Structure 1
Amino acid sequence: MKKIGYTTGVFDMFHVGHLNIFRRAKLECDYLVVGVTTDELSIKTKNKKPIIPLNERIEIVNAIKFVDEVVTQEDYDKMKAWNTIKFDIMFVGDDWKKTEKWNNLEQKFSEVGVEIMYFPYTTNTSSTILRQVLTSIHDVI
């Protein structure tokens, strides 16, 4: 039986941390589905408009050899996503581990047989750091 994995993110300014998530996730499943967050959801929840438009972020993620399918993430309801995709394992950064939100999700997912696997957060490069660098350069120019 095919093991389906799922992970999500904005994946703005694609970098090696994003690639590492996909690479590691693919080692744990047979079929990897990646949810790319819409611009609207990012603005609404993070108050950040992605620099790279959604259609381009989807194209980039879709081109990665570890990714089997790309879907848009239009809300953060992971159980709703599970009802649609029926994944067996979800991959998320370890910066969420032991938070109330993810403790609750772990409980809900365990009831339907879904495992959550936490990966180490990339510290050297992140979209937040890249955004800060671009902003500082823009302010200087």
Structure 2
Amino acid sequence: MSTIIGYTTGVFDLFHIGHLNILKKAKEHCDYLIVGVTTDEIAFEMKGKKPVLSFGERLEIVNSIKYVDKAVAKEDIDNIAAWRELKFDVFFKGDDWKGTEKGRKLENYFAEFGIQVIYFPYTEGTSSTFLREVLNKIKTS
């Protein structure tokens, strides 16, 4: 029986229970979980804003989570580039991609190599964006 390697990725800014839930669920579906932590530059390119926590801090936090076997820098928006480097068997993604053009493209590409895509629901009521908004309100009060 071979080891199933899983991969997920995220910015993991202002680490919260939603992040933990995704990592826990991902680990339940693989033997070895690799997590790509998005660099500050790529996060800014994707979201138009710099993370609150530095890349080094976010990488250390994610690497310290018991469900994570290895945390790596995600230095490219392209998840296929990550697969070429890491050769994982399962890719975990939030269900906001499910049924979208980006999601179908990813699924179709990964299917050519036998890579399974598993979607997880986001935890209701919390997100880094929400936490950032709350912090900004407190700061300006």
- Counterpart position of 1:6: 7
Letter of the aligned partner of 2:15 in structure 1?
F
Cα deviation code 1:47-66 (max 9, x no counterpart): 01100000000110010000
Cα separation, 1, equivalents of 2:76 and 2:84: 13
SS at match of 1:97: coil
Cα separation, 1, equivalents of 2:105 and 2:17: 30
Which structure dedicates a bigger proportion of its chain to helix? 1
Q: Does 1:79 align with 2:80?
A: yes
- Counterpart position of 2:109: 108
SS at match of 1:109: helix
Cα deviation code 1:38-82 (max 9, x no counterpart): 001111121011000000001100100000001101111111111
- Counterpart position of 1:136: 137
Letter of the aligned partner of 2:84 in structure 1?
N
- Counterpart position of 2:63: 62
Give the superposition deviation at 1:134: 0.6
The two structures have a TM-score, normalised by structure 2, of: 0.97
Letter of the aligned partner of 2:42 in structure 1?
L
Identity of aligned residues (%): 57
- Counterpart position of 2:17: 16
- Counterpart position of 1:35: 36
RMSD: 0.7
Count matched residues. Answer: 140
Cα deviation code 1:10-50 (max 9, x no counterpart): 00000011011111100100000000000011111210110
Cα separation, 2, equivalents of 1:31 and 1:112: 19
Cα separation, 1, equivalents of 2:19 and 2:106: 22
Cα separation, 2, equivalents of 1:63 and 1:15: 14
Letter of the aligned partner of 2:94 in structure 1?
G
Q: List alignment gaps of at least 5 residues for structure 1.
A: none
SS at match of 1:95: coil
Letter of the aligned partner of 2:102 in structure 1?
K
Q: Detail structure 1 runs of 4+ shifted over 6 Å in the superposition.
A: none
Q: List alignment gaps of at least 5 residues for structure 2.
A: none
- Counterpart position of 1:125: 126
SS at match of 2:68: coil
Give the superposition deviation at 1:98: 0.7
